Amino acid sequence: MPEDALQDRPVELLQRLLRFDTSNPPGNERECIEWVRGLLEALGCEVRIVAQEPERPNLIARIGGRGESPPLLLQGHVDVVAARGEWRHGPFDGELDDGHVWGRGALDMKGGVAMMLAAFMRAKASGAQPPGDVILCLLADEEAGSALGAELLVREHPELFDGVRYSIGEFGGFTMDVAGRRFYPIMVAEKQVCWTRATLRGPAGHASMPVRGGAMGGLGKLLHALDRRRLPVHVTPVARAMVEAIAKDVPPSLALPLRGLLVPALSDRLLDAFGERGRLFDPLLHNTASATIVQGGEKINVIPEIVSLELDCRLLPGYGPEQVFAELRALSGVELEFEVVRYDPVAVEPDMTMFDTLAGALRELDPSAKPIPMLLPGVTDGRFFSRLGIQTYGFLPMQLPAGLPFMQLIHAPDERLPADAVEFGTRAIGRVLERF
């Protein structure tokens, strides 16, 4: 079949996308973006390319609608993280084997890009006008902070998104099995990046004369506290809605402890009792701080006066840097100086207006579907579009087999996506484009 009919073969479309090595760094998204540009222009789409660096372009295309609804944005990134480790199939071969498409980015997020691109191309090829304009935006640089991608577009070209109120992007719409029930979490809110440098000070001296209570000792106390204890529990509206939606549809023996997670005095003990199953809910109920980089000392025989620790803090909606800094001081009992390296705030309350439309598309394709709102513990490019007043829904629908370790495969060797899930997601997004 000709290449311009790839919208009818979304699995093959994903395979082709995976064969472009867009590992970031360095990214090199240009060849991938130019290939997509050719597909869209062959269908008669007007395509715009915006780039700060020639090898790191972003693509914007639009289908005109009937003007009955605000424009809908479909946004996704084409860069991927490095492919390390041992792989069953080459990470950039795009192999179809055992009913799965294998490759770096199959889940994060070229699989989602393939769904959105195929649905967009089908809408264009059909000639039928959607309720409003549909804007497709394929982005560079998400895996390294989005400075050359979404952040660039929002800062320097906000006019490209005039009138947009809602966006579809990563991460949500995948199946999650709990007690034999099939849920589809749709991301409506995400945590906030707050990269932080913590500095500890203490007396310096010759290493032959040990000191107590120095910077290194303080660092040890901080790391030990982060390893053994959690920051305080906070129950945000989205986390509450998510837990209550799950509890409503599971057996009472599980519903009761799930609802107990929403009682701060019980939350941590119940999370411990849940064990591995509790990992899903743990970051949704706490601000978190992960220690990643330590710097201190210059010579082996000199006790350092200053030690610094870089922390990847993720804040719940509605909380700011000073609040998590106070929590870290209280947790560790150590005097700490904090410097914000990067902070990307997000809206406190999500706009749920389009949730029912997305949930309805899932129920039509899977009558057993139980769509629920989700707070994402990570971050997406949606945080930048929110600066323009755009609500992003994580909606890349995937019917996944119960045994597939979905979250564990993201950024890991043998990343893969069931071929049937690509078809399912394309149909679901297509239905949304008909009725948003």
Q: Which residues are catalytic?
A: 79, 142
**Phi and psi of 337, rounded to 5°?**
-105, 135
Q: Which of 206, 197, 183 is nearest to 373 (CA)?
A: 183
- Could you give the count of Cα atoms lying within 13 Å of 201 in the half-sphere of its Cβ? 4
**Phi and psi of 24, rounded to 5°?**
-120, 115
Both tokens of 353, joined, read 């207006």
211 vs 208: CA distance, rounded Å: 10
Peptide bond connecting 109 to the previous residue in cis, omega within 30 degrees of 0: yes
CB atoms within 10 A of CB 26: 13
Name the 3-class secondary structure at 95: coil
Contacts 24+ apart (CB under 8 A), 384-387: 384/146, 384/150, 384/151, 384/153, 384/154, 384/344, 385/73, 385/75, 385/150, 385/154, 385/161, 385/164, 385/167, 385/169, 386/346, 386/347, 387/154
242 vs 235: CA distance, rounded Å: 11
222 vs 199: CA distance, rounded Å: 11
Peptide bond connecting 203 to the previous residue in cis, omega within 30 degrees of 0: no
Q: 394 near 186, Cβ under 8 Å?
A: yes
Beta bridge partners of residue 169, listed in sequence order: 394
331 vs 265: CA distance, rounded Å: 17
Beta bridge partners of residue 72, listed in sequence order: 134, 166
CB atoms within 10 A of CB 29: 29
393 vs 373: CA distance, rounded Å: 9
Both tokens of 61, joined, read 């295309």
Q: Which of 172, 161, 194, 192 is nearest to 60 (CA)?
A: 161
Q: 4 near 42, Cβ under 8 Å?
A: yes
Q: 45 near 74, Cβ under 8 Å?
A: no
